[in-house]
C-alpha cells in the first residue's frame, strides 16, 4: 500500500546469541494483519537480514495466535479499485520471501488466512500441539491472496490443499506435521526452549553456508528437478571459495569443532 506508515508499536524485537526475534504484539492478541502491521514485520526482518551478527530470525505471535489473517476491519472498507490501486498485498508481503537469513515461524494458536501465508513464507514452521492452520478466506467472501493457494499446494499437495481452501476448515498441528506443513510440534511447556534451541543451532552455523543452503532448498520450490540440481551443483562449487569451507574441512580432519569466520 502506498503511504502506509508501519505500525512498529505492534512488534517487539530483541536479539540473543545471534538470533533475531520478532514478536507480533497487536493490541488484539489474535494479531490481525493490516498493511501497516505487515510493513512493520517486513522492516524488522529486513533489519535483521542486514545485520551481520544475526544468523537466524524467528517470527512468533501471542500465546493465542500467530496471526488470524488479514485485518478484516481494514479489509471490509476496501473495494476492487482500492486493493488494486494501493497494491494491497504487495508492499511488505513480497519482500519477506526475499530475506536471505534463515527465518523460522514459531506458531502458537491460530495461523489463519494471511497468518498461515506469512508462516509459510518463512523457511519452516515450528508449532505447539494447540496450533491451528487454515485458509478460511472462502468463508468471508474471498480466496487466499498472499500465496496460500500456491505455497499450501506445494507444501501439502493438491488434494489436502484443495480440501483446506474449499472448505476453509482448520488443520490441526498434528495433521500439519504429518503432511509436512509443520517441521516439528512441541508441547506448550517445551515450545519456547525447543524453538530457541533450533534457532541457536542455525545461528551458530557458518552464515554464508546457511544462506547458500537456504537458497538451494528454495530453488526446489521454483524450478524443475534438472534445473534445481544444476543450480545446487553451482552453489555447492561456490562453497569451495569460502574460508568456512576450508575451516570445516580442517576441523573435521583435526577432530575439532569448526570455528566459523563467516566468509
Ligand atoms: N481481523 C480483524 N479482527 C479480527 C479478526 C481478523 N482477522 N479475527 C478476529 N477478530 C476480532 C473479532 O472481530 C473480535 O473483535 P471484537 O471483540 O471487537 O468483536 C476479536 O478479534 C475476538 O475474535 P473472536 O471473538 O472471533 O475470537 P475467538 O477466539 O472466538 O475466535 C478466530 C478466533 C477463530 C480466529 C476467529 O476470530 C476468526 O475466525 N477470525 C477470522 C479468521 C479469518 O477469517 N481469517 C482470514 C482473513 S482473510 C485473509 O487473511 C486474506 C489474506 C490476504 C492477505 C492479507 C493482506 C493484509
CATH 3.90.226.10 in the chain, residue ranges: 8-203
48 lines ligand 1 (CB under 6 A): no
Fold of 207-253: Lyase 2-enoyl-coa Hydratase; Chain  A, domain 2 (1.10.12)
From residue 120, alpha-carbon distances to 78, 169, 176 in Å are 25, 17, 12
Cell numbers for 52: 551481520
Q: Is the pLDDT of residue 33 over 60?
A: yes
Q: What percent of the chain has pLDDT over 70?
A: 99
Digit-coded pLDDT (tens) for 1-16: 567 899 999 999 999 9
Cβ atoms of residues 149 and 143 within 8 Å? yes
How do beta strands 132-134 and 171-172 pair? antiparallel
Q: Is the pLDDT of residue 51 over 70?
A: yes
Is 232 a residue of the active site? no
Digit-coded pLDDT (tens) for 192-236: 999 999 999 999 999 999 999 999 999 998 899 999 999 999 999
Burial class of residue 124 in the structure, from the number of CB atoms within 10 Å of its CB (0-12 exposed, 13-18 middle, 19+ buried): middle
38 lines ligand 1 (CB under 6 A): yes
70 lines ligand 1 (CB under 6 A): yes
pTM greater than 0.85: yes
Residue labelled with grid coordinates 494501493: 86
Compute the average pLDDT of residues 75-89.
91
For the residues of 117-145, what is the DSSP string, one character each?
A: HHHHHSSEEEEETT-EEE-GGGGGT----
Q: Which atom of ligand 1 is nearest to the CA of 146?
A: 54
CATH 1.10.12 in the chain, residue ranges: 207-253
- Res 3: pLDDT: 79
- Res 2: pLDDT: 62
Cell numbers for 18: 545471534
Q: Which of 35, 37, 38, 72 for a ligand 1 pocket mutation test, highest count of atoms within 8 Å of Cβ? A: 72
35 lines ligand 1 (CB under 6 A): yes
Domain range 8-203, CATH architecture: Alpha-Beta Complex (3.90)
- Res 200: pLDDT: 98
Q: Is the pLDDT of residue 86 over 90?
A: no
Is 27 a residue of the active site? no
Q: How confident is the model at residue 87 (pLDDT cuts 50, 70, 90)?
A: confident
- In a 3-state reduction of DSSP, which class is residue 192? helix
The count of residues in the chain is: 263
Amino acid at each position: 500500500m502506498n503511504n502506509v506508515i508501519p505500525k512498529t508499536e505492534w512488534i517487539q524485537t530483541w536479539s540473543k546469541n545471534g538470533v533475531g526475534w520478532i514478536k507480533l504484539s497487536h493490541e488484539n492478541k489474535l494479531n490481525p494483519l493490516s498493511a501497516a502491521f505487515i510493513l512493520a514485520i517486513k522492516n524488522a526482518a529486513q533489519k535483521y537480514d542486514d545485520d551481520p551478527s544475526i544468523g537466524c530470525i524467528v517470527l512468533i505471535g501471542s500465546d493465542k495466535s500467530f496471526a488470524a489473517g488479514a485485518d478484516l476491519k481494514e479489509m471490509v472498507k476496501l473495494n476492487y479499485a482500492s486493493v488494486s490501486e494501493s497494491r494491497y498485498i504487495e508492499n511488505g508481503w513480497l519482500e519477506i520471501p526475499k530475506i536471505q537469513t534463515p527465518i523460522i515461524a514459531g506458531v502458537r494458536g491460530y495461523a489463519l488466512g494471511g497468518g498461515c501465508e506469512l508462516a509459510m513464507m518463512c523457511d519452516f514452521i515450528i508449532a505447539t500441539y494447540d496450533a491451528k492452520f487454515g485458509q478460511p478466506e472462502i468463508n468471508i467472501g474471498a480466496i487466499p491472496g498472499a500465496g496460500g493457494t500456491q505455497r499450501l499446494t506445494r507444501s501439502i499437495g493438491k488434494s489436502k490443499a484443495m480440501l483446506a481452501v474449499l472448505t476453509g476448515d482448520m488443520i490441526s498441528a498434528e495433521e500439519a506435521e504429518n503432511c509436512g506443513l509443520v517441521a516439528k510440534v512441541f508441547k506448550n511447556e517445551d515450545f519456547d526452549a525447543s524453538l530457541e534451541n533450533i534457532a541457536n543451532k542455525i545461528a551458530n552455523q557458518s552464515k554464508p553456508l546457511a544462506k547458500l543452503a537456504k537458497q538451494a532448498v528454495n530453488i526446489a520450490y521454483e524450478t524443475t528437478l534438472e534445473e534445481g540440481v544444476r543450480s545446487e551443483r553451482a552453489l555447492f562449487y561456490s562453497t569451495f571459495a569460502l574460508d568456512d569451507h576450508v575451516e570445516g574441512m580442517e576441523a573435521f580432519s583435526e577432530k575439532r569443532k569448526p570455528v566459523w569466520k563467516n566468509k
